[in-house]
Chains A and B, each alone.
Chain A
Amino acid sequence: MGDDAFTDINGKSISLDCQSHSSLCREFIVSSPKVSIGKVMVYTCCVWLVAYAVFFFTENTAVLSSAILITLVGMMLHIHFVKVDHESLLVVGSLGIQLSSSYASGRETTTFIERSKIKDIVINEAIYMHQIIYYLCVLLKEPSEPNAVSSVVPLFQSSKPRLNCLEKVYRSCQEVLSKC
């Protein structure tokens, strides 16, 4: 158990929370920072200033009310679909791996991968925009050929932690998975 501070690929601080429920079951929670109030202010002010400028020329009050509506709806959509509050990885030896990400509004999406479908967990490299990043991913088995990899499921997609954080998660995962 422990709560450690790491940084993601952009240098923002994220925290990794490792919980060991038993020797067979570990949970890793990567939480990203909350939405900063300054950013919200900047976006809101931008929309409203533009709306006020349009209102100044057209003298139509519908512009202002629609600007308020747009800001509110935009914020709701952002926290419901875009902003991920924390991502968690639950590794249960001999049962499987569960990935879940919960959004800032409380919505949660979960997928569970059975142990029999998992080939391995590895750290991989990828070219992302103009940089090379590391990411943790689950390799899935091809049902017909046991040695082939059918697909790759990347972990911690929205909060992209750096290598030192990934290594820690990787070691504990392998420890749990190798036990059975």
Chain B
Amino acid sequence: MVLKIFFPQCCNRADSGLLVGRWIDGHDSAVVLAVVHYPFIPGQVKLYIQQMQAQSGVELTVLGSWSLPKDGQEGMESFLRDLSTIFPQERWLQISRETGKTGFSCDILDQNGVALQKVKKKEKSDGEEEADDEEEEEKVIFVHYEQRKVMLSQLHPVENGVPDSETAPPSELRQMFRTVARSQPLFFLDRYDDGPLKSTHWQSEGREGSIIVELLKQATVPLCLLVGWLLSLWTWFCNVRVFSLLPFRFLSSKLSSCVQLSYRTEHVRTLSSSRPAAGHTEFMRKANIVVSLLVDVALGLLLISWLYRDNHITMVANTLVPAADRVAKELEDLLQWLMGAPAGLKMNRALDQVLGRFFLYHIHLWISYIHLMSPFVERILWYGGLSACLGLTFALSLLSDMVALLTFHIYCFYVYGARLYCLKIYGLSSLWRLFRGKKWNVLRQRVDSCSYDLDQLFIGTLLFTVLLFLLPTTALYYLVFTLLRLVVVLVQGVVHLTVDFINSFPLFAVCLRICRPYRLAEGVKFRVLCEEPGTALHLLMEMNPLKCNTVVHTYRMPTYSCYPKDSWMGLVKKLFVGELVYPWRHKNTKTD
């Protein structure tokens, strides 16, 4: 078997001492965590290891001895061998390094202090002899790792909680990562401590920490309480009986600003819980929420500072009403054109006139509504603009709602046109079946043949002809208003996608990936360090950072998705048949 020793880089130049670490079961590998220096009292070392084991839950043991002889220290060989009898172990590693050389040499002793193998040959022997020896020997691989990075990094894919007994036990690397991450208490002992023991690890020069982080940690507790209290107030207000009545519920499910508000409320509720985040996934989720909330509010404040400077609001309000007027005027022109002979098509004159007048009257109603509203538009915009301090997403949702309300007439036209067209298509299709002597069997969901009377056939054929000749007129109106409607839906869709993007983009994870690539590790990569002939193999283990698209995919926050429900073909089919197309997704429809 080959023995793998994971050795921290920070201990390369440590003074001689004992190696503290853990054997990984079933993989024949050892993780060295720290070096405890001479002089020490063995009883104290045992006590210290027991304490650490209780605190961290890692099976810590003394793995062996480490020696880096300095000037004047000779004849350690026998002393090191005696140490193995003080700390009885199944296997005792005796790693030593000589001052002039880069490589380590390692002896493995069994319980009785007999050398199981000797990797480094100190005797000067012929090359052939050495080669012969090597083939019979067991081998040692040193894997050097950077303790800080390994401790802080998270191996992906993330596994949460206790692994099931059914699946295979976690792999060697995962166990090694977990060991280093959990033995954090071991790294608190630094050189400035006055205790009886001195040790070397990545924090032995002094503990790493940031005063800002500690202050923020202190500040979050009252902040969470305050936010929680405000949240309970808001929840109480939302639960007032009036809001659970049917029209309010219907409105709030259709208005995107209301949906966005409830979404953000859910976020704040997640944040304000006093329980600290349990696992890595939950922590990342919370951090992502905080960062996206902050960015959102910052963007909103930027928008506010632009809107309320130099009276931009008045400018917008002054352009809005004439714009609506112009749209209405254009629509009127369009209707007039349709009522004539559009593109040289000869329409059914009577139906054309009826439909045209009907829509003209609608536009007239709409214009008077707009003019009634015009004095209040500026004030509405002023107060609506204030909502941007809740975040840019909220302002955008409000914009989407306003677009929906201002283009309500287009929606109405579309619905009338679609219903009329749909009716005709259905009538035509059923009459076409009658024409062929068939009918739709509802019970069996199929087309059956059927014998009709002569009268039925006559009336049916007559109606079919009438509908067929009237179809182009209806279809033309339907086509024009559908195109108008699609433009509005497109605008709303773009706004919704922007909101969705801001809501769900895992900004914190991406920043972490860019600034601290080792924190999110996909795996590891190895590099062969310079080797000297005769010593064991030395490998350097580095973090392999997660790919950016994987980061986005893994940490993307779930949203009330407003992507179109249908595929493109489905959409076209729906438009052709004349079913209504909505920008929002119906809640009751299941999507995968």
Chain A contact residues, CB within 8 Å of chain B: 21-25, 27, 90, 92-95, 98, 100, 110-112, 114-117, 143-144, 179-180
Give the contacting residue for B2; candidates A94, A100, A143; CB below 8 A.
A94
Chain B residues with CB below 8 A from A90, complex form: 526, 528
A21 x B531 contact (CB < 8 A): yes
CA distance A151 to B134 in the complex (A): 35
Give the contacting residue for B537; candidates A24, A112, A144; CB below 8 A.
A24
Closest CB in chain A relative to B376 CB, distance in Å: 48
Judge if B61 is at the interface, Cβ distance under 8 Å: no
Chain A residues with CB below 8 A from B531, complex form: 21-22
Judge if B539 is at the interface, Cβ distance under 8 Å: yes
Give the contacting residue for A112; candidates B1, B135, B168, B544; CB below 8 A.
B544
Chain A residues with CB below 8 A from B536, complex form: 22
A24 x B2 contact (CB < 8 A): yes
Give the contacting residue for A21; candidates B173, B525, B528, B544; CB below 8 A.
B528
CA distance A94 to B143 in the complex (A): 12
Closest CB in chain A relative to B489 CB, distance in Å: 34
CA distance A111 to B521 in the complex (A): 12
CB nearest neighbor in B for A114: B171
Chain A residues with CB below 8 A from B27, complex form: 116
Q: A94-B1, A95-B4 are in contact. Are A23 and B525 (CB under 8 A)?
A: no
CB nearest neighbor in A for B131: A23
Chain B residues with CB below 8 A from A180, complex form: 1-2
Q: A94-B4, A116-B171 are in contact. Are A23 and B141 (CB under 8 A)?
A: no
B526 x A93 contact (CB < 8 A): no
B135 x A23 contact (CB < 8 A): yes
A144 x B168 contact (CB < 8 A): yes
Judge if B210 is at the interface, Cβ distance under 8 Å: no
Closest CB in chain B relative to A164 CB, distance in Å: 26
CB nearest neighbor in B for A180: B2
Closest CB in chain B relative to A26 CB, distance in Å: 10
Chain B residues with CB below 8 A from A98, complex form: 525-526
CA distance A13 to B141 in the complex (A): 36
CA distance A110 to B540 in the complex (A): 14
Mask of B140-164 contacts with A, CB within 8 angstroms, 1/0: 0101000000000000000000000
Closest CB in chain A relative to B104 CB, distance in Å: 14
Q: A112-B544, A180-B1 are in contact. Are A25 and B537 (CB under 8 A)?
A: yes
Closest CB in chain B relative to A34 CB, distance in Å: 24
Judge if B139 is at the interface, Cβ distance under 8 Å: yes
Q: A24-B139, A93-B2 are in contact. Are A112 and B167 (CB under 8 A)?
A: no
Judge if B524 is at the interface, Cβ distance under 8 Å: yes
Known contacts A21-B531, A24-B139, A116-B171, then 17 further A-B pairs from the complex at CB < 8 Å, ordered by chain A residue: A24-B2, A90-B526, A90-B528, A92-B537, A93-B2, A94-B1, A95-B143, A95-B526, A111-B544, A112-B525, A114-B173, A116-B27, A116-B172, A117-B171, A143-B168, A144-B167, A179-B2
